[in-house]
Amino acid sequence: MFTGSYVALITPMNDQGEIDYAALEKLVQFHIEQGTHGIVSVGTTGESATLPFEEHIDVVKRTVAMVGGKIPVIAGSGANSTAEAIFLSEQMAGLGVDGFLSVVPYYNKPQQAGMIAHFNAIADATDVPVLLYNVPGRTVADMLPETVAELAKHKNIVGLKDATGDIDRLKQTQALVEDDFLLLSGDDASSCEFLCEGGHGVISVTANLVPNAMARMCDAALNKEFDQCRRINSEIELLHDALFVEPNPVMPKWALYKMGLIQSAVLRLPMVLPELASQKHIEDILKQYQMISG
């Protein structure tokens, strides 16, 4: 369940800022063809923070239909309000999603006890498996390994997306949870070492651009072919950094636009297009990798 490379899929929009469902279907088919192991729909990279509930739910619903059961779909369902997170989970539980990704509440800065109460309430409200998501760089609040271990006791909480980029944190968590509790990297720059140290997979921004490479990297690590995992990572590591020179998902959208996979790089305000220097930076790397001409 939920091992390998899961793409944190962008949500494509047209020049008017409306969801571009034709482009979304093109991306979904691209990932299926390229060997991506699964899709995370409307997570951070999918602009969950700025999509109203109706759009959020509709994008997930259509993504599930486009996938057609070929690979799993995990739906972003987090919110900084427990009631809103439960509402989203309940609304999407019947759409055919395979799991939920629920982020540590942002802005509120909850205590560890508050996180435990929050996630247990969400997991109690649905039969769909729940992945925790710790990304203190965005939420400020940091879910500690002891808190993860406590939440792992819930039968419906099956894993963690760890975006701390801290391999020591992975080891601390591993020591406290059962072997079948899924540990997924949410930090592309450290994902290779995360996998080599026993992680089960990634939820990746880089996979938006190079899904096949990320899938092969995960397969190599899961087969304990660690040298091969590191070799593949070395071939794409410039992308890991370039995609985060501006806040995600600004750069992956621009890159996909330049690659011709989407028709517009428009984002929902308050996110805007990248600075000209950032555009040139990622374009130079795409040319170096022969992903665009020039």
Point out the catalytic residue in the list 133, 253, 257, 258. Answer: 133
Model confidence at 119: pLDDT above 90: yes
Share of the chain above pLDDT 70, in %: 100
Q: Could you give the CA distance from residue 57 to residue 41 in angstroms, rounded to a whole number? A: 10
The verdict on whether residue 164 carries a ligand-binding annotation is: no
Q: What is the pLDDT of residue 294?
A: 76
Mean confidence (pLDDT) of the chain: 98
Q: Which residue has the tokens 């040139």?
A: 280
More confident residue, 294 or 192: 192
Residue 141 clears pLDDT 80, i.e. is over it: yes
Distances (CA, A) of 195 to 43, 69, 236: 21, 26, 16
To the question of whether residue 36 is assigned a binding role by annotation, the answer is no
Query: Is-cis flag, bond preceding 145, omega within 30?
Result: no
Whole-model pTM: value is 0.97
Output b/e per residue, 191-202; b: 16+ Cβ within 10 A: bbbbbbbebbbb
Q: What is the pLDDT of residues 225-236, one digit of tens each?
A: 999 999 999 999
70 is catalytic: no
For position 158, what pLDDT does the model report?
98
CA dist 273 and 276 (Å) reads: 9
Q: Is the pLDDT of residue 261 over 90?
A: yes
The residue-averaged pLDDT of 238-242 equals 97
Work out the average pLDDT over 72-99. Answer: 98
Give me the pLDDT at residue 1, please.
85
Check whether 134 has a pLDDT greater than 80: yes
Q: Is 289 a catalytic residue?
A: no
For the chain, percent of residues with pLDDT exceeding 90: 99
pLDDT at 4 over 90: yes
Give the pLDDT confidence score for residue 68 in this predicted structure.
98
Q: Which of 61, 161, 253, 258 is catalytic?
A: 161
pLDDT at 177 over 90: yes
C-alpha 6/C-alpha 1 separation (Å) is 11
Average pLDDT value for residue range 148-156 = 98
Q: Measure Cα distances from 49 to 23, 33, 52, 188, 227 in Å.
A: 21, 29, 8, 21, 38
Q: Structural domains in the chain?
A: 4-235 (3.20.20.70)
CA triplet 127, 139, 72: central angle to 5 degrees? Answer: 35
